Amino acid sequence: MLDPEAAGSFAKQGASMLDGLEGAGVWETVLSSEPEPHRTAEDSDLDGVAHAFADMADLQTPFKGHIPMPARLLAAADTYQALTSGRPHRPALEPAAAAVALEQEAAASRLDGPAVSAVLSAAGHARKPRSSWPDGLTDREIEVLRLISRGASLKEVGEALVISPRTAAHHIQHIYDKIGVSTRAAAAMYAMEHELLG
Domain ranges of the chain: 69-122, 134-193
Q: What pLDDT does 61 receive?
A: 47
Q: Are the C-beta atoms of residues 158 and 167 closer than 8 Å to each other?
A: yes
- Could you give the CA distance from residue 97 to residue 134 in angstroms, rounded to a whole number? 29
Q: Which long-range contacts (CB under 8 A, 24 or more apart) does 88-93 make?
A: none
Domain 134-193 in CATH 3.30.565.10? The answer is: no
pLDDT digits (tens, 9 = 90+) for 19-58: 666 666 766 776 677 777 777 778 787 777 777 766 665 5
pTM tops 0.95, yes or no: no
pLDDT at 46 (0 to 100): 78
User: With contact defined as beta carbons under 8 Å apart, do 111 and 79 qualify?
Assistant: yes
**Three-state SS at 90:** strand
Q: Which residues pair with 87 in a beta bridge?
A: 90
Q: What is the pLDDT of residues 136-193, one digit of tens each?
A: 888 889 999 999 999 999 999 999 888 999 999 999 999 999 999 999 998 998 888 8
Helix (H, G, I), strand (E, B) or coil at 87: strand
